[in-house]
């Protein structure tokens, strides 16, 4: 999807109130379980992470550089989807440096 389509999906999701942490935690856990059961390949997981990253990037604070934000966001998503970081736990170390 392009930016306009990403923004339309973002606005639609926001309007129906699906921006909940519980939904995100469930999605990440579902992806982990499906991949462990060999029902979801790495390409599919990467597409899921990319969709999440695009959505989150739409709300990036303007005071944070896009490159820095995207790099740390993708690192965090990689750690979450690998099971390396517990889903839902956020500390300064898991977010990365704030510039």
Query: In angstroms, rounded to a whole number, what is the distance separating the alpha carbons of residues 55 and 49?
Result: 10
Distances (CA, A) of 96 to 18, 20, 41, 60, 62: 26, 22, 28, 14, 17
94 pLDDT more than 70: no
Buried b vs exposed e over 9-44: b needs ≥16 C-beta within 10 Å?
ebeeeeeeeeeeeeebeeebeebbeebeeeebeeee
Mean pLDDT over each residue of the chain, to the nearest integer: 80
Domain total for the chain? Answer: 1
Q: Which domain holds residue 37?
A: 3-95
- What is the structure's pLDDT at 3? 83
> Pick the residue with more confidence: 74 or 88?
74
Q: What is the mean pLDDT of residues 44-53?
A: 92
**Contact between 61 and 49 (Cβ < 8 Å):** no
pTM over 0.75: no
First-to-last alpha carbon distance for the chain, in angstroms, is 29
């Amino acid at each position: 999807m392009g930016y306009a389509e990403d923004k339309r999906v973002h606005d639609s999701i926001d309007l129906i109130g699906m921006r909940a942490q519980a939904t995100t935690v469930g999605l990440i856990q579902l992806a982990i379980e499906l991949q462990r059961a060999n029902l979801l390949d790495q390409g599919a997981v990467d597409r899921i992470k990319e969709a999440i990253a695009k959505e989150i990037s739409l709300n990036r604070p303007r005071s944070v550089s896009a490159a820095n934000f995207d790099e740390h966001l993708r690192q965090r998503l990689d750690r979450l989807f690998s099971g390396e970081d517990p889903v839902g736990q956020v500390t300064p170390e898991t977010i990365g440096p704030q510039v």
